[in-house]
Amino acid sequence: MQKHKKKGANPNIAQSQLLPRYIIELSRLSDHKWRQVIQSWARAGNCSTGAPHSTPKNVYDYMLARHRMTPRDVEELCKEAESTSMISLDRGNEKGYFWLPPMAKASKFIAILYPEIDLNGGSYRLRIEMVTIGSDSGMTVEKAIEYRFESPGPGSIHDYHHAQLTSVNSKDGVGAPNWLPDGIPCMPVPARNPITGLFAAILSLYGIDVFEEFLSMIDVPKDYRNEFMMFVRPSRNIRAFEVVCHG
């Protein structure tokens, strides 16, 4: 009798199930951390300590004016992906902006995520816009620059998972200096699919501590965990991979 080899799980099916959950949990983490920041501003009055700009009220006003997406908004976005097989968000989204958690090092900047993920095909582009808010009004962006993490471009010189600068104007008309090249450097990232691409983007923005906190909120299958750790070997272990994630 001929033995049949056991077929492995379809990676695209796994991605289509896991990615929406991860995006939702990322929004919950962001919402939790922004609430903590706002509370610290309230306790400090107009003190600038720990605020992304010289006056917290400007950022808070901008947050209200630009309708920071709530986790429920993100859940609705991901629910729509069940029929379209796409998680997509652009600057014209009427529900608001997907704010990533507050930045610790580049604390004057707000990071905004615009994901474009094909859940079936496995291609992705994660655009991350970094903006600062004008000190005179919470309604205007003072400076903006954008990076993108994306899947390989077949047939192009960037046929590998990579991250690069995007010289593009923001909705508010402020963008990166036009002398900056947006095609180079095109840096390889430790990714093989949209899931590990998302991991690479979060780790690059926030470092190990916030990355661990995010991982503690999700369940990472062993295959994805091993895939990512093949490339990323930080000086100290990422504990969440070893303790919290189960495969």
239 found inside a domain: no
Highest mean pLDDT among 52-61, 158-167, 180-189: 158-167
Q: What angle do CA 206, 209, 214 make, to 5 degrees?
A: 80
203 found inside a domain: yes
In this prediction, residue 1 carries a pLDDT of 44
User: Look-up: residue for tokens 């046929």?
Assistant: 159
Instruction: Please tell me the distance from the alpha carbon of residue 234 to that of residue 190, in angstroms, as a whole number.
Output: 12
| pLDDT higher at 53 or 94 | 94
In this prediction, residue 162 carries a pLDDT of 93
Give the SS3 label for residue 231. coil
152 found inside a domain: yes
In this prediction, residue 27 carries a pLDDT of 94
The whole-number average pLDDT for the span 170-193 is 74
In this prediction, residue 50 carries a pLDDT of 44
* Residue 76 reports pLDDT greater than 70: yes
The whole-number average pLDDT for the span 79-96 is 82
In this prediction, residue 201 carries a pLDDT of 95
| Helix orientation angle between 56-65 and 11-44, rounded to the nearest 10 degrees | 130
Torsion-angle region of 64 (φ positive above 0: left; ψ -120 to 50: alpha; else: beta):
alpha
103 found inside a domain: yes
Number of domains in the chain: 1
175 found inside a domain: yes
Q: Name the CA radius of gyration of the chain, rounded.
A: 19
Does the model's pTM come out above 0.85? Answer: no
pLDDT tens column, 27-63: 999 999 888 877 776 666 544 444 444 445 556 555 6
* Residue 89 reports pLDDT greater than 50: yes
pLDDT tens column, 196-234: 999 999 999 998 888 888 988 998 888 887 777 766 655
Instruction: Please tell me the distance from the alpha carbon of residue 200 to that of residue 184, in angstroms, as a whole number.
Output: 19
In this prediction, residue 247 carries a pLDDT of 44
Q: Enumerate long-range contacts of 59-63, CB under 8 Å, 24 or more apart.
A: 59/110, 59/133, 59/138, 60/138, 61/137, 61/138, 61/139, 62/110, 62/133, 62/138, 62/139, 63/34, 63/99, 63/138
pLDDT tens column, 163-177: 998 865 555 555 567
244 found inside a domain: no
| pLDDT higher at 198 or 135 | 198
Q: Domain range holding 148?
A: 11-218
240 found inside a domain: no
1 found inside a domain: no
* Residue 128 reports pLDDT greater than 80: yes
